[in-house]
Chains A and B, each alone.
Chain A
């Protein structure tokens, strides 16, 4: 019985806190994405038109934790093999945050080329303690 009470408390509080945090993070991501919209992050390797004056490596790295609720959902969904929407939102947050951080590092750049994203799960076996996403690219400055 005690186990069940602890489970319900953990489950509900983790769901509510997790939802709230996620909502706030998404709002923050959207605001910053709009601010940095003028700086394109591209997967192409070189520009055709302009001469490049300077190029440098920029990286953005983020780790997002998977809460208790997400872990439970993940184990349930893994039993049936279905879309895991709680993990989708976690991955989406991590990817976009990583790209944003990369863009923030490229101060004054005209574009970021050859952008690559890498993700990694943090946690033992089937548990998801968190996900790490790293974005890296080449920030270029055109010759004026």
Chain B
């Protein structure tokens, strides 16, 4: 018999699939699974973190409290602490002795850390024009404690971190997967920020008898957000300033909070106070 070569036209070794469709299908599936895990675990972690007793929280805070510089900007810090104490006394909050520290950083932000440690960045202080604005910022952070947001954020953050770490081990996944999870968590935090705003308004009204000037800073941010296409760092964790401002205004109307003249900042009238450095003795030790 003679050898007769024949050619097989069909390729059996390659699957007939559109890889682009495959990609869309798999990405959606993976995102769906991750969102599911994040929702369930995040919810559980949040519930656990919310119920942490104050002593556990204080122990948690001890691990980072050393890194907070309570000696920087001593006069500014003392003034902030006075304002904060007034607010705390009027807020019926209990559990901690709230402590504020000033951090030298251009970021326009303030953070509420576990254990009652509030950190305010000098970038934010520089934009504050009256004591009422400052009180609003500090009361906003107190609001986070009142709603236990600082712990809830911790619980969710931990879950997000675990998911990211697990994905990192399993291979190089597309770079858009993790940012989309983070966007989701930002949207979630918007609700918390708005709730803290309303709490802050109540406390400021209780303390000063009116809410005059309280929203000035937020108004500034909202205006900036509208005209700036380049979004400053403040909004990455405090999104939708306009939306928050509207919610705050509605709250003021509903509660008939009075408007009155603002209380000026003491001394030079600007924060942080000029020449606000720690006085050191000859050995480099701080003077009492």
Number of contacts between A and B (CB, 8 Å)?
A: 68
B15, B19, B172: the one within 8 Å of A75 (CB): B172
- In the assembled complex, the CB of A97 is this many whole angstroms from the nearest CB of chain B, namely 13
Closest to B175 in A: A7
- Chain A interface size, as a band, is 20 to 34
Chain B residues within 8 Å of A89, by CB? 14
- In the assembled complex, the CB of B109 is this many whole angstroms from the nearest CB of chain A, namely 20
A119 contacts the other chain (Cβ, under 8 Å)? no
A113-128 with Cβ < 8 A to chain B: 126-127
- In the assembled complex, the CB of B197 is this many whole angstroms from the nearest CB of chain A, namely 27
A108 contacts the other chain (Cβ, under 8 Å)? no
Comparing A53-61, A79-87, A129-137, the segment that makes contact with chain B is A79-87
A25-54 with Cβ < 8 A to chain B: 33-34, 37-38, 40
Q: Assess the A7–B174 pair: CB atoms within 8 A.
A: yes
The answer for the CA separation of A40 and B17 in the assembled complex, in Å, is: 31
B14-45 interface code vs A (CB 8 A; 1 in, 0 out): 11010110110011011000000000000000
B13 contacts the other chain (Cβ, under 8 Å)? yes
Closest to B20 in A: A15
Binding site for B on A (CB under 8 A): 3-4, 7, 15, 33-34, 37-38, 40, 69, 71-73, 75-80, 83, 85-86, 88-89, 91-92, 95, 126-127
Write 28 A-B pairs (CB below 8 A) sorted by A numbering. Answer: A3-B175, A7-B174, A7-B176, A15-B19, A34-B7, A37-B5, A38-B5, A40-B5, A72-B23, A72-B174, A73-B22, A73-B23, A75-B173, A75-B174, A76-B23, A77-B26, A78-B170, A79-B171, A80-B26, A80-B30, A85-B15, A85-B22, A86-B19, A88-B14, A88-B15, A92-B13, A95-B13, A126-B171
What are the nearest 6 A-B pairs in CB distance? A85-B15, A37-B5, A76-B26, A75-B171, A126-B171, A89-B14
